[in-house]
Structure 1
Amino acid sequence: MRAPTVLAEDALTALLLPFWQLVIGGAVLVVVIVSALRLAQRGPSRMTTALLVTAGAIVGLAVIGVLFSG
């Protein structure tokens, strides 16, 4: 006799996975925005510009990854 397969757990996990990706992505986005605002308030400098460009690249890559993952 074969063991019965449980499909409900797989379906529930499949439904929740995109939700958690959005939650994590949203949290990362909030942290990046808050840190960018704090850096911008300190005044212009090379380090601030470099960090903002890096943060923008990270956010852009994350958005592309989410868009093309599904």
Structure 2
Amino acid sequence: MSPTPPLAQDALVGLLLPMWQAVIGGFVLVAVVAAVFRLAQRGPSRMSLALLLTGGAIVCLTVIGVILQDL
């Protein structure tokens, strides 16, 4: 029979999880802003394709997140 982890350890991980999600979200936001800035400098012809790709990526990541959350 394996020993169960202490409840305090589980509570600490539960408190830290939202912080790590915020840190990762911050890095993603910085990367997206930098990419949009570079695309804006290249002109409108590349912006439309880039916006379609970015929108598609956001939708795909959202769907994957929802699916994985239910598991």
TM-score (norm 1): 0.66
Runs of 5+ unmatched residues, structure 2: none
Partner residue in 1 for 2:33? 33
- Separation in structure 1 between the aligned mates of residue 48 and residue 30 of structure 2, nearest angstrom: 19
The SS at the match of 1:55 is: helix
Per-residue deviation at 1:54?
3.2
- String of CA shifts for 1:5-56, please: whole Å, max 9, x gaps: 51111000000101111111111111011101111111111x3222124324
- Regions of 4+ moved over 3 Å: none
> 1:32·1:55 contact (CA, 8 Å) conserved in 2?
no
Q: How many residues align?
A: 62
Q: Equivalent residues in 2 for 1:44-59 (5 A)? A: 44-45=44-45, 47-56=46-55, 58=58
One-letter code of the match for 1:19? M
> Can you give the 5+ residue segments of structure 1 that lack an aligned partner in the other structure?
none
TM-score where L is the length of structure 2: 0.65
Q: Structure 2: how far apart are the matches of 1:5 and 1:33?
A: 41
Which protein, 1 or 2, shows the higher relative CO under an 8 Å CA cutoff with sep ≥ 6? 1
Q: Calculate percent identity across the aligned residue pairs.
A: 55
**Structure 1 residues 33 and 4: alpha-carbon distance in aligned structure 2, compared to 1, 3 A threshold:** closer
